[in-house]
Chains A and B, each alone.
Chain A
Amino acid sequence: MIIFLILIVLGSVVLGALRFVRGPSDADRIVAVDILFTAAIALCSLAALFTQRVLFLDIAIGCMLIGFVATLAWSRLVEMSRRENEEDAP
């Protein structure tokens, strides 16, 4: 049962990685990173169920914090670089 759920989440990881590779703009890639970190949290929960160890839920908490900071930093970077480009070429 848990194996099937892990396979479905892996399908979502494949979709996110495909969008990360193909994404035409930088913003698409950051959305893909957000989906990949969400799938990482889901995989951590499923690993906790699969091995019956609570330890993996702590790793899920860490993954969520890292994903939040990563999304925040990269999207601020993209926004600021776009603003600089607009100022250079009005």
Chain B
Amino acid sequence: MTLIGLSILTLGVLVLLIASLGLFVFRDALSRQHAATKAGTLGVVLIVAGTALVGGSWSWAWRALVIIMLALLAMPIASHVLARAALGRSPSNDTVLFEE
């Protein structure tokens, strides 16, 4: 159980690192939002699930369930509102999304 939890935890941390790397790979605010929020949601869910598995008792598990449920409810809404805020700020609607 601890081994599975630790591997899920490592996977989540790496996903979170990739999400914040996406802030520098992409060029305008809309694509940065796209990279950051979706991978951030997956990262949080994986990290908290791994924490519950490593912790290994019910007092960890139900708190982790609350966090996962709140993440799945709240972060898509935040992502949607962020996309609306970033929409008009993109310099152009060209198809080139990567810098270099």
Give A residues with C-beta under 8 Å from B.
1, 5, 8-9, 11-13, 15-16, 18-19, 23, 25-28, 30-32, 34-35, 38-39, 41-42, 45-46, 48-49, 54, 57-58, 60-61, 64-65, 67-68, 71-72, 74-76, 78-79, 82, 86
Chain B interface, number of residues (Cβ within 8 angstroms): 46
CB distance B86 to A31 under 8 Å? yes
**Are the C-beta atoms of B40 and A49 separated by less than 8 Å?**
no
Contacts of A30 in B (CB 8 A): 82, 85-86
Q: Does B78 contact A (CB under 8 A)?
A: yes
A23 to B32, CA, bound (A): 11
A27 contacts B19, C-beta separation under 8 Å: no
Would you give the 0/1 interface string for B4-33, flagging 1 where the beta carbon is closer than 8 Å to chain A? Answer: 001001101110110111011000011011
| Interface contact A78-B13, CB-CB below 8 Å | no
In contact, A27 and B33 (Cβ under 8 angstroms): yes
Number of A-B pairs, beta carbon distance below 8 Å: 150
CA distance A79 to B83 in the complex (A): 10
Per-position binary interface string of chain B over residues 28-42, scored 1 when its CB falls under 8 Å from any chain A CB and 0 otherwise: 011011001100100
The secondary-structure label for the interface of chain A is helix
B92 interface residue per 8 A CB criterion:
no
Q: Are B63 and A31 in contact (CB under 8 A)?
A: no
A residues in contact with B66, CB < 8 Å? 61
Evaluate contact between B19 and A38: CB separation under 8 angstroms.
Answer: yes
Q: Give every chain A residue within 8 A of B74 (Cβ-Cβ).
A: 64-65, 68
Contact yes or no, B70 A19, CB < 8 A = no
